[in-house]
Amino acid sequence: IKEDGQKVYKKTTSQAIMSATQLGIGFSVGRLSAKPERDVLMQDFYFVEKVWFPSDGSRETPSHKFDNFRFKCYAPAAFRYFRDLFGIEPSDFLISLANEPIKEIGNPGASGSLFFVSNDDMFIVKTVQHKEATFLQQLLPGYYMNLHQNPRTLLPKFFGLYCYQAGTSNIRLTVMNNLLPSKYKCHVKFDLKGSTYKRKASKSERSKSSPTLKDLDFSQIYPNGITLDHETYDAVIKTISRDVRVLESFSIMDYSFLLGIHNIEQSVRDRKMSSPQTHRNPEREARKNEFSAKLEAIQLSNENEEEVRPAGVIPAKNDKGERLYLFIGIIDILQSYRLAKKMEHGFKSMLTDGDTVSVHKPSFYAKRFLDFIKDNVFKRSAVQRQPTKRRAK
């Protein structure tokens, strides 16, 4: 919805949401750093910190130009621990989300949620529905048990869950990892579910400079899929299989495989056409690189790799033999089939529910999703991963 060019979500301008988020996260991270670190206890998952931000400011909070609001931070100690596990320093989190501006990005999805990206490209802030936020809260203990057992995952990395309350609106926000660093132009990106029903991007989406396409578009553009050398293929499929099993165990459905494709040959062609790019802050670029779908995240070793390929990127080829860099991850995992009726009974009933429909539907979804990725999206190259002779220019 738009009103004098400003996006409005739940009667609140995106500008107000953005500023409140920055103030709220800044306050919460600051307060937390004053407390000593300790092991996470079960009750930490359910603790909610609430802070009142009057427009005029208070002893603890700065003044601001919006209406009075309350900011809730869910499970702050637990999320601090997870950020630590993901290698995110408190100071980096603070700089990226509270000190530097964040900007709104368009959402090709249908849900109407807002997306913001931090200036350094590391974090995405997404508004989520009430039931998704409640689900994430309930999911945290189980989700992170999985993370401990299997840190090499392509599931979203959740860094925080918040609620901004102003007037009568409650706007819930998650902070997660950005899978598509802007440093590499994604010539095309796909949001894939393994379904064919209504899985074609709209005309208006397709006319964008960096459109998000869907399953039917993929099958049309890549009828032969994308080729991975067999080590990479095995690692990717192994990781996705494990992740999908976890999602199925929570009766989660409707998630997507996000696939960003940077075509090296095309970017060389494009660069020849246009003037050379200006150099940017190298330190920040380096920080971007160590991010998103890291190669280590899918159990690969980097030895024998002569090509200067940036960390965190998956090498592949299209059927013309052009070299590609892939950015991948599983997104939008907060819809659970069992959720609606089981939520109020908490985490245990999510696991022990005997309802057969809520077992079958998610397992059907999971199988179709995985089959599509392993049979249609990726092809396993028969040849050994060939050490590249040429250096990337």
Binding site for ligand ATP (CB under 6 A): 107-111, 113, 124, 176-180, 189, 191, 212, 256, 258, 331-332
Cβ of residue 219: shortest distance to Ca ion, in angstroms? 19
Rounded to whole angstroms, how far apart are CA atoms 173 and 73?
Answer: 10
> Looking at beta carbons only, is 165 or 178 nearer to ligand ATP?
178
Report, in Å, the least distance between residue 278 CB and Ca ion.
35
Beta strands in the chain (DSSP E): 2-3, 6-9, 12-13, 48-53, 69-74, 102-105, 115-118, 123-128, 158-166, 169-177, 188-192, 212-213, 226-228, 256-263, 314-317, 323-331, 378-380
Query: Closest separation between CB of residue 223 and Ca ion, Å?
Result: 24
Residues 6+ apart with CB under 8 A from 214: 190, 191, 192, 193, 199, 200, 201
Q: How far is the CB of 129 from Ca ion (least distance, A)?
A: 8
User: For ligand ATP, which is the closer residue by CB, 199 or 317?
Assistant: 199
Cα(200)–Cα(188) distance, rounded to whole angstroms?
14
Q: Which residues are within 8 A (CB) of 6 and not within 5 positions of it... i.e. 6 or more apart?
A: 13, 14, 15
Among residues 182 and 384, whose Cβ is nearest to ligand ATP? 182
Q: Is 44 in the site for Ca ion (CB under 5 A)?
A: no
Q: Which does 113 bind (CB under 5 to 8 A by kind): Ca ion, ligand ATP, none?
A: ligand ATP
Q: Given the complex with ligand ATP, which of 33 and 182 has the nearer CB atom?
A: 182
332 touches Ca ion (CB under 5 A): yes
Phi, psi of 307 (to 5 degrees): -65, 140
Q: By CB under 5 A, how many residues form the interface with Ca ion?
A: 2
Print the binding letters for residues 104-123 with Ca ion: x by CB under 5 A, - otherwise. -------x------------
**Nearest to ligand ATP of 176, 326 (CB atom):** 176
When the beta carbons of 69 and 144 are compared against ligand ATP, the nearer one is 144
Nearest distance from residue 180's CB to ligand ATP, in Å? 4
Write out the E strands in 264-368: 314-317, 323-331
**CB 241 to Ca ion: min, Å:** 21
User: Are the C-beta atoms of 141 and 74 separated by less than 8 Å?
Assistant: no
364's CB contacts (< 8 A; 6+ apart) are: none
d(CA 52, CA 166): 10
**From ligand ATP, Ca ion, none, which one binds at residue 166 (CB under 5 to 8 Å depending on kind)?**
none
The residue (of 80 and 157) whose beta carbon lies closer to ligand ATP is 157
Say whether residue 217 binds Ca ion (CB under 5 A): no
Residues in 145-174 at the binding interface with Ca ion, rule: CB under 5 A: none
> Which C-beta is closer to Ca ion: that of 248 or that of 332?
332
Q: Which does 176 bind (CB under 5 to 8 A by kind): ligand ATP, Ca ion, none?
A: ligand ATP
CB 343 within 8 A of CB 333: no
CB of 243 to ligand ATP, least distance (A): 14
Binding partner at 379 among ligand ATP, Ca ion, none, C-beta below 5 to 8 Å by kind: none
The Cα 168–Cα 175 span in angstroms is: 23
Q: Which residues pair with 327 in a beta bridge?
A: 260
Among 152, 154, 128, residue whose Cα is nearest residue 335: 128
Residue nearest to ligand ATP according to CB distances in the complex: 109
Q: Which two tokens stand for residue 311?
A: 């960390």
Which of 73, 124 has the CB closer to ligand ATP? 124
Are 249 and 145 in contact by the 8 Å Cβ rule? The answer is no
Query: In the bound complex, what is the minimum distance in angstroms from residue 331's beta carbon to ligand ATP?
Result: 4
Q: Residues interacting with Ca ion, by CB under 5 A?
A: 111, 332
